């Protein structure tokens, strides 16, 4: 536990109302979406960048661990205080939209601002911020940057890193740095903003984010392609994109997910006998552009085995088509009491092979492995379903299956995580994806930023 003198000093920085060390607060900030629990010794709510600088300078001097935290919605334990110390929570005070710069088409925000709040604010003035993680209603932009979050619109618009123009951050010794400018071009110095993106709070505490905005598309329409099996659907993904299709999103559901959805939602509107589904949106500046995109997709899907191509007539019908995809994750719980879910990513041309191999690994260990996700960018949400989480042997087999899936994915040029990060959950598998020289480089970067290892230690295996 942190000594009382340290609590008292931190209270002098932020005020007594902004530091809590009682049991209730320590429990409330002990977990994230992984449902693993590690209690911090104290929870601190900094009011501004100056507070953060003073806190880090003091904690660096006394070797007190600091774990930055946004909304705690991560799936890999990136915000868990696994070594105790202080949870530095940014959602209470540092959650403001500072500026929407119409002339330069950027937004400036504090890290605790909720993603969806930012999207709504910029759309009110005719602009658009594309990154839309599934947690957009509650995840913070600081967390999105720290994890390099993706989303369903990534197929066309890319992910968080593609929109970060500049950052302000506090180093572990309390120094404040600026990374990047509002300018479109900036090649002076190292790309420190790029290093901080996806660093999971291990290098610095982000205090301000400047994000690129684009004009809001005038038209949007939802489509669904129906296939007899997921292999044909996966072939249709990369081949249709290679033929000029450019959808905003291209999401997929396999037959196990479809079966689960029908069982959980008996009135759901899903095509009969569908073995695989692709659902998404197209957008553009004119109806002609929309129609051209839909025609390209329809023709491509038919060439690769689709049995139906459905176009939503309006927003309400579009929402019904999206319902299945948005409820895929909870529906899979019909297959077990514990879900080992991973978000691997492969080159799009490898999607059919990857899914075939995933199902084969599931069969080897006797698990159902329902899969869904962002087919348009090669990001698969793999769910190894353990029937009885209290069965130690079954849980061990589940983790073996995950390790085999990771190795298979890396062997075909893929990666351990497309958008959820590494955190604690995937740290043991980093040596599958990176060689010793690469891992040593990561450790040296960590040491250069944080020589005393006070900032989110042991995440990403560092």
Asked if residue 102 and residue 82 are part of one domain, the reply reads no
Q: Are residues 312 and 338 in the same domain?
A: no
Strand partners, 211: 107, 164
Instruction: Clarify whether residues 86 and 110 are in a common domain.
Output: no
Q: For residues 137 and 438, what is the distance between their CA atoms, to the nearest angstrom? A: 36
DSSP assignments along 89-133, one per residue: E-TTTS--EEEEETTTTEEEE-TTSBHHHHHHHHHTTTEE-----
Number of neighbouring beta carbons within 10 Å of residue 110: 23
Token pair, residue 40, equals 């911090």
CB 110 within 8 A of CB 70: no
pLDDT at 35 over 90: no
Question: Same domain, yes or no, for 106 and 66?
Answer: no
33-48: burial string, b at 16+ Cβ within 10 Å, e else: bbeeebbbbbbbbbee
Rounded Cα–Cα distance for residues 85 and 66 (Å): 6
Residue among 102, 313, 289 nearest 224 (CA)? 313
Report which of 277, 274, 280, 260 is spatially closest to residue 377, judged by C-alpha positions: 280
Please check whether residue 447 lies inside any domain of the structure. Answer: no
pLDDT at 446 over 90: yes
176/232 same-domain check: no
Say whether both 101 and 209 belong to one domain. yes
Question: Helix, strand, or coil here: 227?
Answer: strand
Please give the structure tokens belonging to residue 170: 């506090």
Mean pLDDT of 148-153: 95
Query: Could you tell me if 116 and 209 lie in one domain?
Result: yes
Whether 268 is covered by a domain: the verdict is yes
Domain count for the chain, please give it. Answer: 4
Question: 171, 190, 215 — which closes off a domain?
Answer: 215
Final residue of a structural domain among 284, 302, 323 = 323
* CATH number for the domain that contains residue 298: 3.30.70.2190
By the 8 A CB rule, do 408 and 354 touch? Answer: yes
- pLDDT recorded at residue 106: 98
Is 396 found in the same domain as 334?
Answer: yes
pLDDT score at 42: 98
d(CA 158, CA 239): 19
Domain holding 65, by residue range, is: 4-92
The answer on pLDDT for 201 being more than 90 is yes
Residue 70 in any domain: the answer is yes
Whether 336 and 247 map to the same domain: the answer is no
d(CA 191, CA 168): 13
User: Cα separation of 29 and 87, whole Å?
Assistant: 7
- Tell me the β-bridge partners of 306: none
Based on the domain organization, do 163 and 240 belong to the same domain? no
Same domain, 358 and 389: yes
Residue 272's pLDDT band (cuts 50, 70, 90): confident
Alpha carbon 456 to its chain centroid, in Å, reads 18
Q: What is the DSSP string of 35-56?
A: --B---SEEE---SHHHHHHHH
Cβ neighbours of 314 (radius 10 Å):
9
Helical axes 230-242 vs 351-365, angle rounded to 10°: 160
Choosing from 267, 294, 323, the residue where a domain stops is 323
Per the domain annotation, does 449 fall within a domain? no
Phi, psi for residue 86 in degrees, rounded to 5: -110, 130
Q: Given a cut of 90, is residue 280 above it in pLDDT?
A: yes
Helices (H), 37-111: 49-62
For residues 116 and 211, membership in a common domain is answered with yes
Would residue 270 count as lying in a domain?
A: yes
**Number of alpha helices (DSSP H) and beta strands (DSSP E) in the chain:** 16, 18
Does residue 400 register a pLDDT over 90?
yes
Does residue 441 form part of some domain?
no
Q: Would you say residue 269 has pLDDT above 90?
A: no
Res. 1: pLDDT tops 90: no
- pLDDT tens per residue across span 229-260: 999 999 999 999 998 899 999 999 999 999 99
349's CB contacts (< 8 A; 6+ apart) are 238
CATH number for the domain harbouring residue 198: 3.30.465.10
Q: pLDDT for 116-143, tens place per residue?
A: 999 999 999 999 999 999 999 999 999 9
In a domain, 450, yes or no: no
- Of the pLDDT bands very low, low, confident and very high (cuts 50, 70, 90), residue 450 is very high
Examine residue 462 and state whether it is found in any structural domain, yes or no.
no
pLDDT of residue 19: 98
**Terminal-to-terminal C-alpha distance of the chain:** 23
- Residue 5's CB is within 10 A of a number of other CB atoms, namely 9
Domain containing 16 — which CATH number?
Answer: 3.30.43.10
Per-residue pLDDT tens over the stretch 369-380: 999 999 999 999
Tell me, what CATH number does 379's domain have? 3.30.70.2740
């Amino acid at each position: 536990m942190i000594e009382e003198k340290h609590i008292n000093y931190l209270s002098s920085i932020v005020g007594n109302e902004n530091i809590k060390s009682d049991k209730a607060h320590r429990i409330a900030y002990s977990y994230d979406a992984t449902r693993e629990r590690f209690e911090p010794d104290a929870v601190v709510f900094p009011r501004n960048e100056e507070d953060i600088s003073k806190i880090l300078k003091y904690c660096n001097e006394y070797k007190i661990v600091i774990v930055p935290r946004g909304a705690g919605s991560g799936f890999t334990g990136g915000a868990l205080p696994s070594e105790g110390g202080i949870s530095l929570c940014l959602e209470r005070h540092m959650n403001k939209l500072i500026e929407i710069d119409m002339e330069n088409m950027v937004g400036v925000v504090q890290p605790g601002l909720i993603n969806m709040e930012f999207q709504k604010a910029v759309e009110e003035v005719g602009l658009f911020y594309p990154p839309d993680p599934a947690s957009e209603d509650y995840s913070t932009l600081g967390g999105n940057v720290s994890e390099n979050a993706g989303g369903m619109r990534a197929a066309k618009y890319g992910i968080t890193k593609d929109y970060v123009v500049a950052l302000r951050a506090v180093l572990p010794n309390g120094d404040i740095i600026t990374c990047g400018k509002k300018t479109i071009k900036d090649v002076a110095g190292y790309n420190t903003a790029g290093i901080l993106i996806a660093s999971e709070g291990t290098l610095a505490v982000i205090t301000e984010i400047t994000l690129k905005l684009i004009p809001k598309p005038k038209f949007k329409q939802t489509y669904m392609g129906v296939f007899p099996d997921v292999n044909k659907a996966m072939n249709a993904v990369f081949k249709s994109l290679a033929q000029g299709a450019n959808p905003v999103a291209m999401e997929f559901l396999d037959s196990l997910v479809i079966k689960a959805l029908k069982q959980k939602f008996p009135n759901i509107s899903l095509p009969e006998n569908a073995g695989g589904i692709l659902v998404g949106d197209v957008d553009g500046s004119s109806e002609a552009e929309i129609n051209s995109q839909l025609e390209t997709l329809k023709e491509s899907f038919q060439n690769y085995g689709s049995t139906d191509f459905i176009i939503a007539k309006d927003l309400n019908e579009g929402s019904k088509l999206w319902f299945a995809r948005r409820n895929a994750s909870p529906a899979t719980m019909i297959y077990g009491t514990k879900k080992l879910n991973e978000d691997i990513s492969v080159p799009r041309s490898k999607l059919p092979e990857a899914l075939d191999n995933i199902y084969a690994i599931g069969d080897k260990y006797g698990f159902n492995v329902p899969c869904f996700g962002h087919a348009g960018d090669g990001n698969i949400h793999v769910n190894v379903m353990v029937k009885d989480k209290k069965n130690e042997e079954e849980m061990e087999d589940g983790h073996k299956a995950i390790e085999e899936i990771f190795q298979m994915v890396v062997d075909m040029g893929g990666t351990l995580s497309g958008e959820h990060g590494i955190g604690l959950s995937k740290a043991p598998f980093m040596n599958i994806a990176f060689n010793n020289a690469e891992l040593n480089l990561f450790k040296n970067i960590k040491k250069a930023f944080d020589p005393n290892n006070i900032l989110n230690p042991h995440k990403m295996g560092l």
